[in-house]
Chains A and B, each alone.
With several copies, the nearest count.
Chain A
């Protein structure tokens, strides 16, 4: 019933505490890759305000045994829908301060339309199907972030 999605050699998925370096990610997407003319990056950062609350920090919990599996499936789905070159996806966990990087999705393709679509698809699906949860720390205390209806709608539109 379930087939296990496998990561292609040129793809990279990581769930990690440590920060990532956008320049190195870009290098990994483009070096020795002269066939792809389009690179699209998404970076998600800890912003200072969510629904009117002043954020001081975030804590990201995940379900380790499931996370990589879920992300690998998303990458496989993206590859079924679009002709893509390389895909790199990094999600951080643990405590993150204001302004820190949370997530990176980088996609290359011969044409820009596929790269834009796949990058946004991966983010939209990750937001509803990958087992990460955010806890916000504000001046009024900590609380778990509620899922957004808009994220469910976006993910369903693909």
Chain B
């Protein structure tokens, strides 16, 4: 089981703040591709050049490995400060 979170514009366009996925994807990149199958908006806004990924609250690249119980967040480039 992987917990997936979405923030900011991504949360709004996908109309989804979080979901749980029973999946055997083994990396953040594979998870990203699996989620992109969920619809046109998912395909557009989860693209690697549009959505950053954090694994267990740390920014990671798409080759980061996943295990059950992990929390993955996808979000646009940050704009605080």
Contacts and interface: CB of A to CB of B under 8 A. Distances in A.
A22 interface: no
A98 interface: no
A152 to B, nearest CB: 8
Contacts of A2: 58
A112 B79 CA distance: 14
Contact of A131 (B9, B12, B54): B54
B71 A65 contact: yes
Given A61-B7, A69-B57, A144 B81 contact: no
A133 B5 contact: no
A133 B75 contact: yes
Most chain A CB atoms below 10 A, which of B9, B58, B71, B77: B77
Nearest to A93: B80
B78 A128 contact: yes
A146 B80 CA distance: 11
A75 B73 CA distance: 23
A62 interface: yes
What is the interface residue range for chain A against chain B?
20 to 34
Contacts of B7: 61-63, 131, 133
B8 interface: yes
Given A133-B7, A133-B75, A144-B9, A66 B81 contact: no
A115 interface: no
Interface in A29-63: 44, 60-63
Interface string A123-158: 100111111111100000000111110001000000
A102 interface: yes
B59 interface: yes
Contact of B80 (A69, A103, A112, A144): A103
B29 interface: no
A133 B79 contact: yes
10 contacts: A61-B7, A62-B7, A62-B80, A63-B7, A66-B57, A103-B81, A127-B79, A131-B80, A132-B80, A135-B8
